[in-house]
Every structure is written in structure tokens, then in C-alpha cells.
């Protein structure tokens, strides 16, 4: 590792020296001065720069700064000199740039909420947040570095109102799910926003991107802001900017190292049934028939008999026994250099997340990044960014293999040697029939002997050239590319035992995925001051997007040679091969215009036209627009205690592109026979969302910054696969159409505070909250059930015009005689024949306490047997971040969660079938309240059909991030003689997913199916786990 990073550092510095060697002896224009606050105190570390020339420095001791600009760039022109520092309002002024020296002093006013911070996403040019006419949320490095996240999306959880983030599965390497405001479509898992990384449009997983490299994340949550990105942005936009070294002092090299090490583990287990319903022998062992092949059922059928306390039949919590505390480590190196008109930042990160399953090593990831900015004379500059990522895993991030079977494994079986009468093979897969109540085998055998390898390489590159022929005109060209090469291999050696304990023929499957995305963009921007007080900014853009996907899959299900994991060893008659290619092309034109009148009246307008190969041939070109305005009241009226009051409104449109195959005819091939499947649609166009957004921003008492937003959105033409008449369609089964309209209403609130801020002590907090209501307004199809991923095909969700998205349908159980009587078939029922049992269900009195006791399904007066049993939509989501500082000690804690919203606990329902869930354990209940096992395993289990017994409140509050840190000062370092080598140090204790407060009985209430928040169904997911680490950060 030292050799790699050392070579990397030398190459980076060499690249810098080559770029600046020509400047060393040139005569220069020198700018010097001092940066102070309003009390005359020096501001150390402030950035002072001429952005148009990519030249600048940071203020040093006593707030003094100085930097030089080469003679060939100092032509007597007017340039903008800016001084800025975190927590202060930036100051910009026009200066005449000539050779020689000039002095420019700055007095900065405090701006604790960074209202003068600029955003660059969705706007014609970098714009102060004070002057935005629509919502753009910004998360900075300061907010993310306390607890480095696994990915850029995970880093914004709880920090942006209107953004719901869920780590739907805890598998190492799994990408989080994100939804901004409401849903835009009815396709499962198709609500992800557009992602930009240093201007590169990416469709691939952000699990490959190192969150340590991020300088900022900007979030556009709806069409009002995201219309800038047209047909690809109805789900919003997340723009990630990586570190570039522009904030460093001139002629300085900054190097830092961050090391983190700890462990991960499950912090909550589901309750398990620790008793059974078998007869016991006098010695406490379980009674069997004479041949010993079958256990004898206790006549009462109640699971209240204990397992033996010794011997092979003792009760075990198999999951808790076998899950491991996985190792977690991270090592990050950052190198930054700034010299003259060149700045550079590079990094290398390696991390390992082992996970918690036995016999797996988890994810190993490396990231290498290099960013360079170089001025090219007085009127041009060039930027380049390159990121290479390598991700390896020996467990499929989307899998539940092993986890499901381990949870359901019989508790009275030694999984190391489960079936000694049959085989002494360790972890033998065939479990004894006497104890196994299902057909699943020993999960440990597959985890121990299976061989799965995932290797994913990622290369992201962006290049930008900017030219300023005049003070009012800027031209730039940008190229970005995202290249993914993924290979995964599954190898079962010849002789690997199946669940029945029989040696198999072996298997070798290899899959490759290659994705190449490119975007090329040209911009022309004009900026003119009209009539001395009207600032006009105009931008015209041409954007070309190319996306090529290829995949290849070969699966050999019989290997002729032992221990040769090569396709050459596969029986050629038992090999299946398939491949796919899709090519997408999009051309976009757009123009935007903004006016700023006296810094108080803001007007913004945009028009965009997109042409895409994904649209039907008759709908190739589509139009999008935005109109937005803002009024800064406090620029006209002074309000006591109010520093900023802004009212704003925006209306915009953005689109959602169809999938590649949606417009085409498709066929299936099986057994040599070709069958028609999908009818093509030349009229298919993007789903188009129109959003109206209204907002108020107020900063008051110099301590609080409040934003309140209301957004109403309507997405017309959402995609649906519509069943067709075979006669009318020529034999095709379905057609994808723009057949639905989906609407959503969202309220958002965000409060930033600075409660106390002194030299010795400080406390601040931020609060975010949002509420979204969404429904299907139109659907050109009969109501239908919708399957959810990871639910074994159980269609618990229902799509119907006028219905809320996320509505769960299923069987209701009767809880009272009045409910029973609603069924016309029970008109003559006698109340004396029924009784409510101890679990609250109405049952027949004659069956109470017997093996025949069963719940009764509710039927309403109309004879309907399926009813609304749940709604996944929470009443509100929230985030609460706290920062506490005392001298050199700091505490950071992020609490987030949701209130309301139902979860369908499918895991629990399946556990009822196998008699594993703790609800079925009757040992601690009064005798009269004990229910027979069959009441659960047959009655409430309901043949795995959805019913209201498994609906649970999904409310939770999670301590997601925790950091306790000590900043080691120079006085401490000097005691050990380290102050000359080390400029700063920090020691921290970090926790992730520390604790969750919830009434949900499953592992984790943060559930989604298929990455879709409309499908909160818990289906044997690998759960999120808790991680505790220690961190040491050194700055050189």
C-alpha cells in the first residue's frame, strides 16, 4: 500500500509540475491583502480567487493572502476577485488586472447558513442560493465527513427534505434506494433520479463511488427544478461533485490519511418459537413412534412443550449462532496541490465490508481518482476528472441465499453434523426427516462450498474546456463517459451435493455486462447588465447522449471433468447461451434565460427539446419548459429580526423515458418454437410530469434558516403493459402504452440552526421533514394486482384508478360477531355459537382450544372477500442532525425515520408455515389463552395468501450516524515532537445504524421490494446491520 500511494503521489506532483513549469520565471500580476471579519479579527483559510483565470489562494496567518497571475494573463482587463469562507457571506469586486502589485482587503460578514453558497445544477450558471427561484438542496463535505457513508446516496439520508433513502438490503455492496417526493410511474423500482458525477450522466450503481471523494451533492427534487434535464429527469436529479483542490493555499501540498477499522453485526433478531407440540418422554426427550421415524403430536396441539436441555435435540437459535461479526476497514489517502493557475486533487481508497454471513468475505473495493484544473492563458481553462473503481464480492448483493434457509432451519439440529446416520460430511445438506418440516436443506453447506465471484470495474471521466472571448460571453465544451465492465461467475464443482444429499454433475455459469455511456455538451452563456440594474443571463446548449449495453451469459449445467472450473469442461449438450445488445441515442437542445433586477426580483425561464431513440417513431421529439420567479422582500423592507425573506414559485415539466424494448415487438423462443409476446408501439412517448412548486425562505435572529415548500405534481402518460385481445392484435399478448396518470402532493420543511457558537462551545442542529400523498388518477386498464419483488409472486398490491399508490389488499379476519353478520350468508348466525379468542379473533365456540380452531375470513355485504388491509405511505418522514462542540471534542448524531405507513411482514408469514415464529410459542401464556399451533400454521398462514394479521406499523426512528471525535491540536502534537510533520489530527469513534426504535417485529423496518418505496414488503431480506469503528485522521 505505501508503494502504491507513494507512486501515485509522485505521478500527481509530476503532472502538476509539467503544467506550471513555464510560469516559474514569468513576470506576474500580484494581488495581496488581508481578510478579516466585521470585528477586525483575521479569517484564516478564506479562499481568495479570480475564478475566470482559475487563480487564487487561501489566507494564512493573520488573514494575509498573496497570489500571482502570469504576465500573459494580465492584459489590463477587468476581472472579478472573490473572497469566501464557510460561514461568511462572500464578497466579489471588479479589479483591473495589470502586472505589478495591488492590495485588496476584505471584511466578511457572518453567513452561518451559507445562503450565499452557489449551486451549479439546473441553472444557467453558478447561482447563489439566495437568488434561486426553485428548490435545490445542497449537502456539503462538512455534513458528510463526520460519518463517511457507503455511497453518495447513503450520505444524504436524513439531510434532505423530500428525499427518502432506504438501504433495502444490508448485503455488502448493495446500492441504496432513493425517491424524491412522490412516484412518477407504476413500474416497480423505476423511481430513481438522474445521477450526475462531475457532469457525467450515469445509469450504473453508485455503490462503486467512494463517498470520501465528495465535495458536495446537489439535489433537484422535481420537474420545477429538473426541467433543465428534460426527458430524463421526472424523478429528479442528484448531482455529485468531487474534490478538486481549489480551496488550498497557493504553492502548498496537502496530504491527508484517514484510517477506519471496526466490526459489524445484527442488532436485532426476530422472536423465535422455543417450544413444540410433541409429546415428551419421562426423561424430557421428544417421543416418537416405535420405528423412531415420526414424532408423536400432543393431543392439545399447543406449542408449549420444552425441548430437551441436553443432547442433540436441544433448542438452538441457528441464526444467532452462525452469524458472524464481520470486519470493516477503510483507508483513504487524499493529495491536493495548488500552484499558480493549476490545482490538483487525487485520492486512493481501499475498503472491506465483510458482512455477517458465515463463510463469506463480503465486499472489497478500491477507488482511484485524479482531478486537475489548468488555466490556459487569460481567457481559457481546462478541467479533467478521472475515477477508476474496482469492486469485488463473493456474495451476490441482491441475494437472500443462505439467509432465508438459516432463519428457517430446525432449531433442534446440529448443522455441522446434521444427519450422522446418513453421512459424516460436514454441513451435510440433507436434514433428518424427523426434524425438518420443509424441503430446504442445510444452508451452511452451500455457503461453505459454493463459489461465487463478482468483479466490477468502473471508469468515469469528464473533460471540460472553457473559453471567454469577451467579458460578457463564455463558451464551453464538456465530454463525459461512464464505462462499466462486470463479470460474475457461479461455480459448483462436480460432486457438489444437492439438498437431497445426492452428488450433482456440477455447474459453471459466467455472465458479463458491459455498459458505455457518453455525453457531449456545448454551451454558450452571455451575462449582461442592462439599464444599470437588470442582470440578464442567457444560455444555449446542445447535448448528445449515447448509451450502449451488451451482455453475455453462458450456463453449463453438467461438467465432464472434476475440479476444472472452465467452460471447456462443460458437456456441450448441457450448455445454454444467450446475449443482448441495446443502443440508445438522444439529442437535446435547450435555452434558458434569467433576469435579476436589483437583487430582489428573480425571473427564470427555460425551453428544451429532446429527441430520443427510446421514443416511438411518431413521437421522436418532445418539448419541456420551466418558468420560475422569486421576490426577496427584505431587499425592499427591513423587518426586525429577519435577515432574509423570499417568496418563490415555479412551474416546470420533465420526462421519464421508456425502457429500451418498450416500443418494439418482442418474441419468446422455447423448445424451438417462436411465440409472440409484446406488440410494438410507434406512438410511445415519455411520461411527462408537470410540477407546480411554491416556497418560502426565511432567515431570522441570525440563528435560524427555515424553508417551507409545497409541490404538486402530475405525471401524464405513465407506462403500463396492457393485455390485448389476441384476435385484434394478431396474436400478441401485451403492449406498453402511456396508459396512466399519477399525481403526488408533497409538503417539505427544512430548518437549519446555529443555537450557540463561541470559541469554546457550539451547538447547532438541522431538522428536515416531509409528507407525500400520491394516487393513480387515470388508468386505461382494468384494476389489477401487482407483484412485489422478493414476495414469492404474492400480489398484495392493487392498481386501480382513484386508488392511492401503495395500497395493500388481502383477506381480513373477523374480530366481532357484528363483522360476521355483514356477510349475507351469515344472516341466520347465532351469537352464542361464536366467541372471541385470546388473540382477538372470532372463532366457532365449539372449536375453541381444539386443533380445528381457525379464524374466519371477513365478507362484506357485497360479497367481497378482498379488502384494503394496509397503506405503505407514512404520515411523514424526518431527519434530525445534531452537532455539539466543546473545545477540541465534538459530537455528531443523525436521527431519522418515518411515522406511519404499513409493512407487510411476509417473512413472518412464511415462518408460520414452518412453525418458527415466536408468536406461536404459547409457553408463557395462561393456560386458557393458549392457542393450538394449527391456528397459526394453517389458519393465519392462509396458504401464503395476504391477510391483515401480517400488516404491521412501519414507524421507526433510527440513530443512523454517530461520531464522537477529538481534534488533536498543535500544542499536543508538539509535546511528542510531531507538530512539524503533522499539521492536524483527529481521533473518532463512529457508529452506523446504531439503534432503531420501532414496534415492527421484523429485523428492520427500512424495507423496500425491488428498491421501490411503494412496496414495503419484508421478504427474507439480508438485514441492515450495525457497524462500530475507530477512526484516525492525519493531515500533513
3 state DSSP class of 918: helix
3 state DSSP class of 588: strand
pLDDT at 1: 38
Q: Are strands 363-375 and 380-393 parallel, antiparallel or unpaired?
A: antiparallel
CA angle (279 as vertex; 276, 284 as ends), nearest 5: 85
Confidence category of residue 475, pLDDT binned at 50, 70, 90: very high
Of 362, 204, 339, 172, nearest in space to 1022 by CA:
172
Q: How far apart are CA 420 and CA 431, in angstroms?
A: 10
Strand partners, 962: 893, 991
Q: Of 66-70, 276-280, 702-706, which range is least confident? A: 66-70
User: What DSSP letter does each residue of 104-138 carry, written as one string?
Assistant: --EEEEE-TT-TT-EE-SSSSS-EEGGG-SS--EE
- pLDDT one-digit tens code per residue, 838-860: 999 999 999 999 999 999 999 99
Q: Are strands 64-70 and 177-180 parallel, antiparallel or unpaired?
A: unpaired
pLDDT at 128: 81
Strand partners, 575: 556
What percent of the chain has pLDDT above 90?
Answer: 67
pLDDT at 148: 86
Q: How far apart are CA 26 and CA 331, in angstroms?
A: 41
pLDDT at 58: 81
- pLDDT one-digit tens code per residue, 929-980: 999 999 999 999 999 999 999 999 999 999 999 999 999 988 888 888 888 8
CA angle (192 as vertex; 622, 1003 as ends), nearest 5: 160
pLDDT at 38: 83
pLDDT at 245: 78
- pLDDT one-digit tens code per residue, 413-447: 999 999 998 999 999 999 998 888 777 889 999 99
Q: How far apart are CA 599 and CA 333, in angstroms?
A: 42
DSSP class of 935: I
Phi/psi of residue 71, nearest 5 degrees: -60, -40
> Averaged over 265-272, what is the pLDDT?
91
Q: How far apart are CA 557 and CA 575, in angstroms?
A: 6
pLDDT at 220 over 60: yes
Q: Of 332-341, 478-487, 569-578, which range is least confident? A: 332-341
Which three three-digit cell numbers place residue 1011? 428498491
Q: How far apart are CA 686 and CA 863, in angstroms?
A: 41
> Averaged over 641-664, what is the pLDDT?
95
- pLDDT one-digit tens code per residue, 137-155: 999 888 888 888 888 888 8
pLDDT at 115 over 60: no
2-111 is a CATH 2.60.40.1120 domain:
yes
pLDDT at 792: 62
Domain boundaries, the chain: 2-111
- Contact criterion met (CB below 8 Å) for 475 and 515: no
Phi/psi of residue 933, nearest 5 degrees: -60, -35
Confidence category of residue 2, pLDDT binned at 50, 70, 90: very low
More confident call, 169 vs 533: 533
The predicted model scores a pTM of 0.88
Confidence category of residue 622, pLDDT binned at 50, 70, 90: very high
pLDDT at 108 over 70: yes
- In a 13 Å sphere around the CA of 292, the CA atoms on its Cβ side amount to 3
Q: Of 21-25, 371-375, 756-760, which range is least confident? A: 21-25
Q: How far apart are CA 543 and CA 547, in angstroms?
A: 13
3 state DSSP class of 757: strand
Which three three-digit cell numbers place residue 193? 433520479
Mean per-residue pLDDT of the chain:
90
User: What DSSP letter does each residue of 684-702 carry, written as one string?
Assistant: ---EEEEEEEEEEEEEETT
pLDDT at 43: 85
Q: Of 33-47, 585-599, 648-662, which range is least confident? A: 33-47
> Averaged over 185-192, what is the pLDDT?
78
- Contact criterion met (CB below 8 Å) for 990 and 962: yes
> Averaged over 794-804, what is the pLDDT?
87
Strands of the sheet with 194-197, listed across from one edge: 137-140, 214-220, 237-242, 194-197, 200-202
Q: Which CA distances in Å does 77 have to 73, 74, 94, 676?
A: 9, 7, 10, 69
pLDDT at 19 over 50: no
pLDDT at 110 over 90: no
Q: How far apart are CA 211 and CA 157, in angstroms?
A: 13
pLDDT at 11 over 60: no
Of 709, 653, 646, nearest in space to 685 by CA:
653
Q: How far apart are CA 552 and CA 574, in angstroms?
A: 17
> Averaged over 744-766, what is the pLDDT?
93
CA angle (315 as vertex; 313, 320 as ends), nearest 5: 135
pLDDT at 789: 64
Confidence category of residue 189, pLDDT binned at 50, 70, 90: low
| Unique residue bearing C-alpha cell 451549479 | 120
pLDDT at 116: 56
- Contact criterion met (CB below 8 Å) for 172 and 353: yes
Amino acid at each position: 500500500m505505501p508503494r502504491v500511494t507513494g507512486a501515485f503521489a509522485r505521478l500527481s506532483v509530476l503532472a502538476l509540475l509539467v503544467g506550471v513549469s513555464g510560469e516559474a520565471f514569468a513576470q506576474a500580476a500580484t494581488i495581496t491583502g488581508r481578510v478579516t471579519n466585521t470585528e477586525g479579527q483575521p479569517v484564516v483559510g478564506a479562499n481568495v480567487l479570480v475564478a475566470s483565470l482559475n487563480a487564487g489562494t487561501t489566507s494564512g496567518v493573520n488573514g494575509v493572502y498573496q497570489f500571482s497571475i502570469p504576465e500573459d494573463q494580465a492584459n489590463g482587463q477587468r476581472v472579478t476577485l472573490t473572497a469566501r469562507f464557510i460561514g461568511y457571506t462572500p464578497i466579489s469586486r471588479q479589479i483591473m488586472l495589470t502586472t505589478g502589485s495591488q492590495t485588496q482587503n476584505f471584511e466578511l460578514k457572518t453567513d452561518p447558513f451559507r445562503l450565499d453558497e452557489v449551486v451549479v445544477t439546473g441553472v444557467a450558471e453558478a447561482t447563489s442560493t439566495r437568488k434561486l427561484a426553485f428548490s435545490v438542496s445542497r449537502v456539503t463535505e462538512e455534513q458528510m465527513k463526520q460519518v463517511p457513508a457507503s455511497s453518495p446516496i447513503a450520505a444524504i439520508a436524513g439531510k434532505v427534505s423530500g428525499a427518502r433513502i432506504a438501504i433495502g438490503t444490508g448485503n455488502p455492496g448493495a446500492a441504496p434506494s432513493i425517491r424524491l417526493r412522490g412516484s412518477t410511474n407504476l413500474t416497480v423500482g423505476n423511481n430513481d433520479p438522474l445521477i450526475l458525477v462531475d457532469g457525467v450522466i450515469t445509469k450504473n450503481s453508485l455503490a462503486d463511488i467512494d463517498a470520501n471523494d465528495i465535495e458536495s451533492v446537489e439535489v433537484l427534487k422535481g420537474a420545477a427544478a429538473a426541467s433543465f434535464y428534460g426527458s430524463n429527469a421526472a424523478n429528479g436529479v442528484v448531482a455529485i461533485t468531487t474534490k478538486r483542490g481549489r480551496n488550498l493555499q497557493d504553492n502548498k501540498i496537502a496530504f491527508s490519511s484517514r484510517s477506519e477499522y471496526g466490526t459489524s453485526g445484527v442488532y436485532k433478531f426476530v422472536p423465535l418459537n422455543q417450544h413444540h407440540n410433541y409429546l415428551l418422554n419421562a426423561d424430557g426427550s421428544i417421543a416418537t413412534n416405535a420405528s423412531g421415524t415420526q414424532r408423536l403430536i400432543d393431543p392439545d396441539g399447543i406449542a408449549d412443550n420444552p425441548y430437551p436441555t441436553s443432547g442433540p435435540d436441544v433448542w438452538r437459535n441457528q441464526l444467532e449462532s452462525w452469524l458472524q461479526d464481520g470486519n470493516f476497514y477503510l483507508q483513504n489517502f487524499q493529495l491536493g496541490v495548488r500552484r499558480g493557475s493549476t490545482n490538483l486533487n487525487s485520492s486512493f481508497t481501499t475498503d472491506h465490508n465483510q458482512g455477517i454471513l458465515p463463510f463469506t468475505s463480503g465486499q472489497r473495493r478500491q477507488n482511484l481518482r485524479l482531478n486537475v484544473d489548468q488555466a490556459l492563458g487569460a481567457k481559457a481553462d481546462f478541467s479533467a476528472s478521472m475515477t477508476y473503481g474496482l469492486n469485488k464480492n463473493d456474495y451476490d448483493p441482491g441475494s437472500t441465499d443462505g439467509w432465508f434457509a438459516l432463519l428457517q432451519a430446525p432449531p433442534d439440529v446440529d448443522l455441522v453434523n446434521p444427519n450422522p446416520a446418513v453421512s459424516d460430511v460436514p454441513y451435510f445438506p440433507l436434514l433428518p426427516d424427523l426434524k425438518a418440516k420443509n424441503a430446504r436443506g442445510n444452508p451452511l453447506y452451500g455457503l461453505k462450498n459454493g463459489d461465487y465471484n463478482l468483479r466490477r470495474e468502473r471508469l468515469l471521466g469528464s473533460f471540460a474546456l472553457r473559453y471567454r472571448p469577451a467579458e460578457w460571453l463564455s463558451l464551453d465544451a464538456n465530454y463525459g463517459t461512464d464505462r462499466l465492465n462486470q463479470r460474475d461467475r457461479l461455480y459448483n464443482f462436480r460432486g457438489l451435493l444437492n439438498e437431497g444429499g445426492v452428488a450433482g454433475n456440477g455447474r459453471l455459469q459466467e455472465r458479463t455486462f458491459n455498459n458505455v455511456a457518453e455525453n457531449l455538451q456545448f454551451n454558450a452563456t452571455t451575462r449582461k447588465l442592462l439599464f444599470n440594474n437588470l442582470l440578464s443571463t442567457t444560455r444555449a446548449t446542445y447535448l448528445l447522449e449515447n448509451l450502449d449495453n451488451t451482455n453475455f451469459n453462458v450456463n453449463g449445467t453438467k461438467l465432464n471433468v472434476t475440479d476444472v472450473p472452465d467452460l471447456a469442461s462443460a458437456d456441450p449438450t448441457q450448455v445454454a447461451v444467450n446475449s443482448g445488445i441495446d443502443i440508445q441515442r438522444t439529442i437535446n437542445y435547450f435555452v434558458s434565460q434569467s433576469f435579476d433586477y436589483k437583487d430582489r426580483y428573480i425571473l427564470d425561464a427555460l425551453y428544451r427539446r429532446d429527441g430520443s431513440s427510446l421514443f416511438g417513431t411518431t413521437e421522436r421529439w418532445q418539448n419541456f419548459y420551466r418558468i420560475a420567479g422569486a421576490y426577496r422582500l427584505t431587499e425592499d423592507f427591513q423587518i426586525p429580526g429577519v435577515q432574509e425573506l423570499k417568496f418563490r414559485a415555479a412551474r416546470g415539466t420533465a420526462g421519464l423515458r421508456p425502457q429500451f424494448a418498450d416500443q418494439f415487438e418482442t418474441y419468446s423462443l422455447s423448445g424451438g418454437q417462436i411465440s409472440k409476446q409484446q406488440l410494438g408501439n410507434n406512438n410511445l412517448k415519455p411520461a411527462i410530469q408537470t410540477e407546480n412548486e411554491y416556497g418560502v425562505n426565511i432567515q431570522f435572529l441570525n440563528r435560524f434558516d427555515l424553508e417551507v415548500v409545497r409541490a404538486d405534481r402530475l405525471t401524464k402518460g405513465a407506462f403500463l403493459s396492457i393485455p390485448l385481445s389476441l384476435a385484434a392484435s394478431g396474436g400478441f399478448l401485451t403492449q406498453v402504452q402511456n396508459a396512466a396518470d399519477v399525481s403526488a402532493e408533497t409538503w417539505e420543511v427544512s430548518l437549519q440552526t446555529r443555537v450557540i457558537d463561541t470559541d469554546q462551545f457550539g451547538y447547532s442542529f438541522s431538522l428536515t421533514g416531509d409528507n407525500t400523498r400520491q394516487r393513480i388518477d387515470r388508468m386505461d386498464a382494468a384494476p389489477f394486482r401487482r407483484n412485489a419483488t422478493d414476495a414469492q409472486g404474492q400480489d398484495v398490491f392493487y392498481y386501480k384508478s382513484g386508488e392511492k399508490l401503495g395500497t395493500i389488499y388481502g383477506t381480513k379476519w373477523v374480530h366481532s360477531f357484528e363483522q360476521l353478520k355483514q356477510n349475507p350468508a351469515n344472516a341466520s348466525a347465532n351469537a352464542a355459537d361464536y366467541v372471541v379468542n385470546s388473540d382477538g379473533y372470532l372463532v366457532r365456540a365449539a372449536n375453541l382450544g381444539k386443533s380445528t380452531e381457525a379464524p374466519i375470513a371477513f365478507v362484506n355485504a357485497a360479497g367481497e372477500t378482498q379488502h384494503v388491509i394496509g397503506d405503505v405511505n407514512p404520515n411523514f418522514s424526518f431527519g434530525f442532525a445534531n452537532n455539539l462542540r466543546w473545545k477540541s471534542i465534538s459530537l455528531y448524531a443523525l436521527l431519522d425515520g418515518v411515522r406511519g405507513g404499513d409493512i407487510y411482514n411476509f417473512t413472518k408469514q412464511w415462518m408460520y408455515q414452518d412453525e418458527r415464529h415466536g408468536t406461536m410459542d404459547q409457553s408463557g401464556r395462561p393456560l386458557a389463552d393458549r392457542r393450538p399451533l394449527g391456528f397459526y400454521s394453517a389458519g393465519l398462514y392462509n396458504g401464503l395468501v395476504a391477510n391483515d394479521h401480517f400488516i404491521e406499523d412501519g414507524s421507526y426512528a433510527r440513530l443512523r450516524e454517530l461520531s464522537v471525535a477529538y481534534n488533536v491540536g498543535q500544542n499536543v502534537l508538539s509535546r511528542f515532537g510531531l507538530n512539524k510533520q503533522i499539521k492536524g489530527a483527529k481521533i473518532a469513534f463512529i457508529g452506523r445504524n446504531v439503534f432503531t426504535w420501532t414496534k415492527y417485529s421484523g429485523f428492520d423496518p427500512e424495507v423496500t421490494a425491488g428498491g421501490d418505496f411503494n412496496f414495503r414488503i419484508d421478504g427474507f431480506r439480508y438485514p441492515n446491520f450495525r457497524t462500530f469503528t475507530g477512526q484516525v485522521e492525519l493531515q500533513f
